[in-house]
Amino acid sequence: MGTPAAISAKGLAVKAGRNVLLQPLNLSFADGEFVGVLGPSGCGKSTLLRCLAGLQPLSQGQVFLGLKPLEQLTSVERRKIGFVPQDDVVHGSLRVDRALTYTGRLMGLTGDALSGRVNQVIELLELQERRGVRTDKLSGGQRKRVSIAMELLGEPQVLFLDEPTAGLDPALEDSFMSSCQKLCRGGRTLLMSTHVMQSLDCLDLVLVLLKGHMIFLGPPQQGLSYFQVPSLTMIYKQLAQQDPLQAQQRFAASPLYQTYVAGRAP
């Protein structure tokens, strides 16, 4: 046996009444992996991230942090999972550094440990020049960085970001993605959902959902040949014409499924 996955799911499925929001799926991601969850609006991206983060109950299956099922985690272990929702939770009137200090204090940090950690996350997310600015004076991208910095104060091992690049222009998106890549280099696993994005090359893996079906999981470059597109931003037109079940079956029969799903079974 190798090292256990950072986060994994076995037979994860979600229903709401008669609607199946997520078909049963198996997933397993390693330490330091940067994963993008793509798919049209309403395909189940947020549902999947929330389930993996333990914020939404599953109808079937189990999620594991390392080897431990989420429901068995102690409150200290639960802090190893961070989640940044699509709508920012940053307080308006505080300066960036004060907002972070306040949040860190709520997490139980004090003294030098607190100020050290605040400086560290400010640097990591390249907020040095903005540290004295009120959060309501920040741009959307900067406010998103502050939301992520707040989660990082707790030093999560696995971090979920729900559509963090929505509203960023391509240049900002690029630099944001590089910051995220940097976060993963320290061994942190990062899962990010996105509706559409230019800079997918930073990602280690791309997961594509279509109406609750997993229809692709693999490196972005392999996605290009799988969908026969020059850029993954072009899959959406194709997805609109595909039958989700058939697309899932095609993926289940592919070598990529063997490598990235079956070969990684939790």
Ligand X SMILES: Nc1ncnc2c1ncn2[C@@H]1O[C@H](COP(=O)(O)OP(=O)(O)O)[C@@H](O)[C@H]1O
Point out which span in 43-51, 67-75, 136-144, 239-247 binds ligand X (CB under 6 A).
Answer: 43-51
23 interacts with ligand X by CB under 6 A: no
Per-residue 3-state assignment (H helix, E strand, C coil) for 233-247: HHHHHHHHCCCHHHH
Helices (H), 107-196: 111-124, 140-152, 170-185
Minimum CB–partner distance for residue 32 and ligand X (Å): 25
Question: Smaller CB distance to ligand X: residue 76 or 240?
Answer: 240
159 interacts with ligand X by CB under 6 A: no
Specify the DSSP element, H or E, that contains 223.
helix 220-227
Point out which span in 34-42, 136-144, 151-159, 252-260 binds ligand X (CB under 6 A).
Answer: 34-42
Minimum CB–partner distance for residue 240 and ligand X (Å): 14
44 interacts with ligand X by CB under 6 A: yes
Point out which span in 14-22, 95-103, 213-221, 238-246 binds ligand X (CB under 6 A).
Answer: 14-22
Cβ distance 266 to 10 under 8 Å?
yes
Cβ distance 82 to 160 under 8 Å?
yes
Question: Smaller CB distance to Mg ion: residue 41 or 178?
Answer: 41
Q: Which does 47 bind (CB under 5 to 8 A by kind): Mg ion, ligand X, none?
A: ligand X
Pick from 195, 236, 164, 168: which is nearest to 42 by CA? 195
- d(CA 119, CA 146) in angstroms, rounded, equals 12
Residues near ligand X (CB under 6 A) = 16, 19, 21, 39, 41-47
